[in-house]
Chain A
Amino acid sequence: MNRSIFPALPALILLFVFFLFPVVRMLGFSVEGGTFDWYAKALGEQLYLRVFWNTFEIALLVTFFCLLLGYPLGFLMATTTPFWATMGFIFVLLPLWTSVLVRTYAWMVLLGRNGVFNRTLIEAGVITDPIPMLHNFTGVLIGMVHVLLPYMVLPIYSAVRKVDPAIPAAAAGLGASSFAIFRRIYLPLTLNGIFAGSVLVFVLSLGFYITPALLGGGRVIIIAVLIEQQVREALNWPFAAALSAVLLAATFAVYALAQRYSQPVETTR
């Protein structure tokens, strides 16, 4: 370990001044006056525990739906012809390069009472009254799944790519059906991709703000929305800091657990 850290110095200074220092300051706010009262409030009151629970519930559901939609997509992109793989990449990455704000507003246009979906369904005579899809749980879920999907697709894509095509071919030759090839070969060999994608989406969901704030319209309160309200409306910085600290700890815990239980899967390619 005699390599110099000198080349990394500018980045380290930047991180220290603009990231580590503010985080420490913020943690300082939360124990202002030498008390842990704000933590007691955050973790003790029913209302705030509900918000934490809501956050985890949404994060879990978002992860689940991202996996459900992302696995087949990532799998197809990894096994199709180069042309379709490129098309897949464009469709997956293009949204990623677009501002989250723009995409969220687009969903508001689509999901609203007089939005594209409801109007189309009413005109087609499928429904008479608009389905509430905005400013509720459903809307938040749809928006978050869309925004976070690429983070699931890309790790799964790269995990499937790492599987030597001769391996599933060998399985087929030995009598395995398509389903058996998926369950016995691809699934175990791509577990690390599934795991990586899921952890990424889950952790990002925990602290997600813009999409749940806009699509939830203040009615779906998750932790990031609560923190923002405490800072902007209640001007209660110490409590907001305590909530942030709890969220940070929860995120670290999830990450640590994931690291503990993830195992490197051997693939040949």
Chain B
Amino acid sequence: MSASGGSADLLIEGVGKRFGEVVALDHVSLKVAQGELLTILGPSGSGKTTLLKVVAGFETPDGGRVTVGGVEITALPPAKRDIGMVFQNYALFPHLSVAANVAFPLEMRNIAKPEIERRVAEALAMVELKGYEARLPRQLSGGQQQRVALARAIVFNPRLLLLDEPFGALDRKLRETMQLEVRRLQRRLGLTTIFITHDQEEALVLSDRIAVMNRGTIQQIATTTEIYERPANDFVADFVGESNIYHGTMSGPGTVTLDGGRTLTVRSDKPAGTKVGVLMRPERFASSGTNAFTGEVIESVYLGTSFKLRLACEGGLELLVRQPARGALPATATRVTVGIDPESIHVF
């Protein structure tokens, strides 16, 4: 593999990994197109970090193949993979200056000095760190350290970029800035990127596609809107965004009878008798709609732009509802009616 092959596609086929009794990865397969940013989203212990380590070469899978740009790399040591990685706590070399940190991967590739200087300057300009060359990592803020880590990971023109929860240590404002910056840089360089996070909001902001993982398996891979609007199962629906999830049976064309007895009008061509899940996003409720619910407010919270209400409705149904913050916040124990249209209900 050449030292400057540039961005390539990634193919993971049937990768498995156990740690003793624990199955960290259960035959995981996925494909990332060249230039795509795929987020692996999952709770801690879902196997997402193990998958990233397998791709980076820090963990050897028990089975399966990892292919980058058509070349299998499953057994290759990390040093030979040409993969740029930004670690959770950046893992900058504490004894080396910013410039020396960024020059490190180029020196390891025996690139000529003038060329190294040129590319380091270019990479530092790209992450807006001109003038910081001589500083040590500890003399930088968290955001600046992250930029150095990013510059170091892209300076050698890697085949893939891996980001392991890189924004966790930053405060909210800075995190949002960095997210957009990373996204811009990744697009500009056309770099195939895998981004690991447990933060679903972050995943929605950054990704082309999201792979939701749980218990060592991929629950769903789809575009961000697809994941949010049409989740494949309970786990995805619950993990991404706020949700009201109920289970029931198709009782006719476009009608679901929930296990509690309540009937809903939905858009679904699933045959009658099919066991289904029903997802209603809290912000999709309006003051009226085809399916109306009346219930007692058991919790009401003012969130600035919206009200968040928890309603106890007939048939044991409990609904989380978000309404635009207009007028007075409904008091607890008052009765409120809300409605939702069939097209806003996702049946899975």
Contacts and interface: CB of A to CB of B under 8 A. Distances in A.
Interface of A: 164, 166-167, 169-177, 180, 184-185, 188-189, 265-268
Interface residues of B, number: 29
Given A175-B105, A188-B95, A266-B95, 6 more contacts: A164-B89, A171-B104, A172-B78, A175-B82, A185-B93, A189-B94
Given A266-B95, A268-B94, A174 B104 contact: yes
A180 B105 CA distance: 11
Nearest to A170: B91
B89 A176 contact: no
9 A-B pairs with the lowest CB-CB distances in the bound complex, closest first: A175-B108, A174-B105, A170-B91, A166-B91, A266-B94, A172-B78, A173-B78, A188-B95, A173-B85
Interface string B251-292: 000000000000000000000000000000000000000000
Contacts of B48: none
B78 A169 contact: yes
Interface string B72-97: 00000111111111011101111100
A11 to B, nearest CB: 37
Give the most central of A174, A177, A189, A268: most B CB within 10 Å: A174
Interface string B49-91: 0000000111000000000000000000111111111011101
Contacts of B81: 173
B192 to A, nearest CB: 16
B136 interface: yes
B91 A172 contact: no
B310 interface: no
Contacts of B83: 173
B94 A175 contact: no
Contacts of A175: 3, 79-80, 82, 105, 108-109, 156
B78 A266 contact: no
B95 A164 contact: no
Nearest to B56: A173
A116 to B, nearest CB: 43
Interface in B153-172: 156
A265 B91 contact: no
A166 B92 CA distance: 9
Contact of B89 (A166, A174, A265, A267): A166
B152 interface: yes
B136 A266 contact: yes
Nearest to A177: B79
A180 B108 contact: yes
A265 to B, nearest CB: 6
B138 interface: yes
Nearest to A187: B95
A172 B94 CA distance: 16
B8 to A, nearest CB: 16
Contacts of A267: 94
Given A175-B156, A268-B89, A167 B58 contact: no
A265 B78 contact: no
13 contacts: A167-B91, A167-B92, A167-B93, A170-B87, A171-B104, A173-B57, A173-B78, A173-B81, A173-B85, A175-B3, A175-B80, A175-B156, A268-B89
Nearest to A164: B91
A170 B80 CA distance: 13
Given A166-B89, A170-B85, A176 B94 contact: no
A188 B94 CA distance: 10
Contacts of A189: 94-95
A172 B89 contact: no
Nearest to A265: B95
Nearest to B77: A172
A177 to B, nearest CB: 6
B21 to A, nearest CB: 18
A176 B91 contact: no
Contacts of B104: 171, 174, 176, 184
Contacts of B105: 174-175
A180 to B, nearest CB: 6
